[in-house]
Structure 1
């Protein structure tokens, strides 16, 4: 798949699925904006892109803060002159407990990053995507569709909202030639995976999948690039699952 002369924004690009996606886009010839919160990690991803002759735009930003999120699309247009693809990948995961005093703090923080920030960035990106007949790929999760473990109310709710946002936006933007889709990974080895303490549950998570394995970031990146490409030109409003068979068990 060639993305030569395409401009792509990827949020949550400092590691995991976002980093893998950025590098693959660069490898396929795209100009990429990397968005993340950790400068050191972003620099490493940018260096990987440079191996393919690309000099990406690096933006250190917390997408949950409006004033920082608003700079992402504007700086991309200033640098590259257009926008073809938006990959909304930034997200957070925390365990929660609705009976604990801090539940609403966790819920609000999760929704602000996993849903509200995506709505804001997409809102700002849409006029430019209409111009290029571009597309949006949202990174959701199979957690939106299943309830296998307790104390994940905030995260599951945010991803379920994101899936419906994807479908609604696909319908709204179809007359303008803009496609909107989502991907839903199951367990994947990423930093968010480790920060949430899930690394200690690897054997349990593997056992919870039909294929008895946890996914890798590159696998999800492959799916994102497919949906963003002309090969998926008839696909909109869809959620593509890559979960090693988590849902079917």
Structure 2
């Protein structure tokens, strides 16, 4: 795979899957736009990326539930690089909540996990059409089944919506030569669970249970998911659009 002269925008690039994907794109000579809330972490990731092929990434600090920040992502990218070839909608929050908790958890999750994706994709669309580029949405197996070991009702809803968004936008933009696909990880070793409010002890317990119970007896690493993102963003996947790619070590078989 080669992303020479390709401009790749990655949200949620400060840690986990997004950060790993950024470094892997950098190894393939991509021009990167790293988006996230934690500027210190973004700088660390940018340094790693630049060390690969000496291509300096653009850092955009942004809150994705802020419309002006979302617009800034596109305007700054075009100002610096002049185009967008790949959009990786990776950022998401995993707020815990059940139907007993009222509407607030739903509003928070949908604003970050779905509305911001819709807005950013809409703003990037003219540039993606011009470049005949593509979109990779990072969803979850939570789109298909409830998460048994936590109250993640709003999160599950948001990911089901994201999968439908992937299919609808793929149909919409297909005639313009723009591909749209989704990567749906199962349990993956990232900071996600801790960011969602689990203690380190609870996270370790979750990991131990999943390593024991998943059919392949292991969880995915960020590199596994990032590798699939790169494949779908590359010309090797030129005939793939509207597809939902599960990478879960067999979790959905349980």
Aligned match of 1:62: 63
Aligned match of 2:32: 32
Aligned match of 2:240: 235
C-alpha displacement of 1:208: 3.8
Aligned match of 1:131: 130
Confirm or deny: 8 A CA contact 2:37 2:61 kept in the other structure. yes
Match of 1:199 among 198, 203, 210: 203
CA distance in 1, matches of 2:203, 2:133: 36
Aligned length: 247
C-alpha displacement of 1:106: 0.9
Aligned match of 1:245: 250
Aligned match of 1:169: 169
User: For 1:95-126, what per-residue CA distance to the aligned partner results, in whole angstroms no more than 9, with x for missing partners?
Assistant: 212113xx311110000000000000000000
2:223 is aligned with 1:224: no
1:80-99 maps to which residues of 2 (within 5 A)?
A: 80-99=81-100
Aligned match of 1:71: 72
C-alpha displacement of 1:91: 0.2
Aligned match of 2:105: 106
CA distance in 2, matches of 1:86, 1:148: 27
CA distance in 2, matches of 1:81, 1:178: 18
Aligned match of 1:209: 214
C-alpha displacement of 1:202: 1.2
User: For 1:59-116, what per-residue CA distance to the aligned partner results, in whole angstroms no more than 9, with x for missing partners?
Assistant: 110111111111001110110011100000000002212113xx31111000000000
Divergent runs of 4+, >6 A: none
Confirm or deny: 8 A CA contact 2:98 2:154 kept in the other structure. no
Aligned match of 2:117: 118
Provide the secondary structure at the position in 2 that maps to 1:63.
coil
State the Cα RMSD in Å. Answer: 1.1
